[in-house]
Chain A
Amino acid sequence: MTITHHLDDATLMSFAAGALPAALAAVAAAHTDMCPRCRREVAALERLGGAVMADLSPVALERSEPAQAAALPADRRELSLRTGNGEVPGPIAPLVGGGLDAVAWRWLGPGVWDHPLPLTGAGKLRLLKVAPGHGIPEHGHGGAELTLVLRGSFNDETGRYARGDVADLDETVEHQPVVPPGASDCICLIASETRERFHGLITRQWQRVRRF
């Protein structure tokens, strides 16, 4: 797996700062889990967080620090590192129970299915499956959007996206991703900060019907 499309620097910074809206943070974490290059970048940007926090004017604590070891937690070395589940990266594994082959898809239109993932917090997170020869519904970006390929590949004006690649495109870009004919289904994890403005006729009707 060679990843060629990465997170934008501004997205990485916001992610490391803990300021990325929840849905986008989920995709950023999933990509980072698969991508050593972006893990390095996040580590560097966390250094910036350490520096920013060190520069804050301290606010005195009301309670003093624990005087006895008995006042401290006894269970040490605890850590919650999630492991992935096949093609599903660790960070989102709890949201995609049985793996990609067990997803209950919802038909959106010819060759296009989706599956919303439960999320508390800002934005919308879902899996999207597109059959070969079909396009991912065209959409302008009403807000930030991240698309991470989990299986298969798609092409658009900015290149080819395969497993691990993330499309982190500017709000002004309108792109038309297409899954090449003869390829396998493409499954992506998509986060949007706001609802997409779908332009396709069918999807527009669906938007109306389902408040997509």
Chain B
Amino acid sequence: MADLLRRVAEQADLAAFRELYQTYGPRVKAYMMRQGADAATAEDLAQETLFTVWRRASLYAEDKGSVATWIFAIARNMRIDRLRREVPWQELPEGRLEQPSDETPPDEAVSEKERQGRVRAALAELPPEQHEVVALSYIDGLSHGEIAARLGLPLGTVKSRMRIAYQRIRAGLEDLK
């Protein structure tokens, strides 16, 4: 996928872009629908997200995350901007990609693909109650309080499940170093 993105960035390669579009467009559309958009709006937002990928392809830095991660950040910002119209400043993390890498320790040995694989494996292995709070945050866009209300749990329980889930994901990434 990173190769496709590089071809889009360097050669404005339409075939490469179409392949990215076919792979990620339907997933971004699914994401937008889960966030509350109707099918037509979700389709528009998916298209806009992929157009942003086209425009910003040269800003993608492989050492900062997989293509899926990068597109997720663009889709998330698009969703906040269009569906909620509230948090323009969340464009920040994605914008940061352009800056020199002062934060990510150089780690040539581990490919981003491997890292993303570890995250997916760790996600798949989460116990159901931890997976649930992760999904409600990332897919349904619910705040801590909204998750607590939805599940009928104390706020502290929701937050501690999220912390533990993150520790597991982090552990999956750290033994790569």
Contact = CB atoms under 8 A, between A and B. Distances in A.
Contacts of A55: 120, 123
Interface string B55-74: 11111000011101111110
Given A50-B71, A52-B135, A20 B79 contact: no
B27 A47 contact: no
A172 B159 CA distance: 13
29 contacts: A9-B162, A10-B162, A16-B93, A19-B138, A19-B142, A20-B87, A26-B87, A26-B89, A43-B103, A44-B170, A46-B72, A47-B69, A47-B116, A48-B138, A50-B66, A56-B27, A59-B26, A59-B30, A59-B42, A61-B25, A65-B21, A68-B14, A73-B55, A76-B56, A77-B59, A81-B96, A90-B92, A91-B89, A193-B145
A136 interface: no
B50 to A, nearest CB: 8
A51 B123 contact: yes
Interface of A: 8-10, 12-22, 25-26, 29-30, 32-33, 36, 39-40, 42-63, 65-69, 72-73, 75-82, 90-92, 94, 119-122, 143-144, 170-172, 193
A15 B94 CA distance: 13
Given A69-B14, A76-B54, A171-B155, A48 B89 contact: no
Nearest to A76: B55
Contacts of A45: 166, 169
Interface string B146-177: 00000000011011101101110110010000
Interface string B29-67: 111011000010011001100110011111100001110
A65 B84 CA distance: 26
Interface footprint category on B: 35 or more
A92 B26 contact: no
Contacts of B76: 17-18, 49
A50 B167 contact: no
A73 to B, nearest CB: 5
Nearest to A61: B25
